[in-house]
Chains A and B, each alone.
Chain A
Amino acid sequence: MRYLRPPGAASESKFLADCIRCGKCGEVCPNRAINFFGFENGLASLDTPYIIPREQACMLCMKCGDVCPTGALQSIVREAEDIVAKVKMGKARVDMNLCLSYQGKTCGVCYRACPLQDVSIRVGYLEQPQVLDACVGCGLCERSCIQIPQAIMVIPNRKEA
């Protein structure tokens, strides 16, 4: 199962040890992007928050980090520099065989959905998207992709820093 942790989460092991499963991150999420695990991801992940970007992506409002009592999600200022530096949910990847723009049909929806335009994603000829290193993995591009299945998807990053 491909899932993201909410923004501000450190590596998976540190996140699991810090999170007390209070559910407040989900309770402040204005986009209802944060859902909670049952037993499907193992006992250690029980009741921890996750995001499936194709269903509902993160808007990078950074409210969850503010409300998290334990520092499992660190508090991040809602500014581009801070977000790019500290949010490491994952990185988007374009599947050129599926992407309409790479098939010659100008699209560019992912670029327009990105909250960090030209910082995290760039478009070139025929609006062909190019994901840059600053991508934080919020998943709004994946959420908005008009192809089925999606031509751009976020590869989660939950490894040790």
Chain B
Amino acid sequence: MRTWQRHLNKLRWISLCLVFGMLVLLPFLHLYQTYIAAHAYDLLPANERQIYDSMEKLTAPFLSNPEKQLDAIKGTTWSGTLFGLKLSDPLAAVGQAAASMKVYWPFMLTVAIPILFTLVFGRFFCGWICPATFLYELNDNLGTLMRKAGLPITQRRLDGRLKYLVLGIGMVLSAAMGAVLLAAVYPPAIIGRELYYVIAIGGFGGGTLFFLMTLVFDLMVARRGFCRYLCPGGALYSLLGRYRLVRIQRDVANCNDCAKCNVVCQFGLDPLRDNFGQECNNCTACIAVCPTDALKFELKAKDAPNQGPGHLGHQYRKQQQKSEIAEAA
């Protein structure tokens, strides 16, 4: 029977869509709350009345007092409240500690759960939650279409350590300016914010331009380049997930050297030669694409060293024949 893990990629897309959908929905719910608070349904213009009506329809089956109860879900992936549980991005804590030069414990507690998950699963946030990943992966699909259409797409390889430099410089600049500058260059924070600005306030902020530039960067310089080479949050998650306990591993006995995993990996990792490392964002595309179920999540603190050609591939068969001949001689 084939492994259930090849369905994880679909599950991941459901998760990404849910998060992105919530980020779009929350500003509307906020508007709905303010309309209720104002007690002025009759005075609302038609478009706002439309928002009121649709949000009322959406929440009525679940909530008796939406004006109060909707406070239970607030914020973005950068920092949010989820049914009374405050959760924040670890980068927010790092940025805030750097800018204010002190540790504020109530805030540090809000990043404990994400950090714990990162210690076990590595960059799980990047692959499963990040609203920017949602758009970057669609952007990558667009890149594939563009390449098929013969349009120029560049896929350069840069040094993966560049993002640690970005994280370091961001922290130093945050400390120097006394403001959390990292928030301005971190795509998931930007997306959550900009969606709120556009829907609830009207008009884009400065972050949209920055985000569009990263999309162009991904198409014109390196595939998924921002996540791989520049994202300060990705850098922090990579560092925290360096000794992650759950990682994808190749079962050399099942591998047939088809190299589909290497082609499908948007992060340019090398599953075929057992190079996963701390960068893997658990997107599980390689597991889904593997025809022989050679790739699986395993409980392991370290990657296996290169195990050589897969046992189902012809390279391995040739090696075997050669050694048999050598033995016979």
Contacts and interface: CB of A to CB of B under 8 A. Distances in A.
Interface of A: 13-14, 16-24, 26-32, 35-36, 38-39, 43-47, 63, 67, 69-71
**Which of the listed residues A13, A17, A32, A36 has the most CB atoms from chain B within 10 Å of its own CB?**
A17
A20 B206 contact: no
A30 B38 CA distance: 8
A11 to B, nearest CB: 11
A26 B76 CA distance: 12
A30 B37 contact: yes
Given A16-B178, A38-B205, A47-B207, A22 B81 contact: no
Contacts of A44: 177-179
B104 A27 contact: no
Contact of B184 (A27, A28, A36, A47): A47
26 contacts: A16-B99, A17-B101, A18-B96, A20-B79, A20-B92, A20-B180, A20-B183, A21-B78, A22-B79, A22-B189, A23-B192, A24-B75, A27-B30, A30-B34, A30-B37, A36-B201, A36-B205, A38-B205, A43-B184, A44-B178, A45-B179, A46-B206, A67-B74, A69-B107, A70-B79, A70-B104
A38 B37 CA distance: 27
Contacts of A47: 183-184, 193, 205-207
B251 interface: no
Given A19-B180, A71-B107, A28 B96 contact: no
A20 B200 contact: no
Contact of B99 (A17, A23, A38, A43): A17
A20 B92 CA distance: 6
Interface of B: 26-27, 30, 33-34, 37, 67, 71, 74-76, 78-81, 86, 88, 92, 95-96, 99-101, 104, 106-107, 110, 177-181, 183-184, 189, 192-193, 196-197, 200-201, 205-207
Given A38-B205, A47-B184, A63-B71, A14 B92 contact: no
Contact of B177 (A14, A18, A43, A67): A43
A27 B100 contact: no
Given A17-B100, A21-B183, 14 more contacts: A16-B179, A17-B99, A17-B180, A20-B88, A21-B180, A23-B196, A27-B74, A27-B200, A31-B34, A43-B177, A44-B179, A67-B74, A67-B81, A71-B106
A140 to B, nearest CB: 15
A119 to B, nearest CB: 24
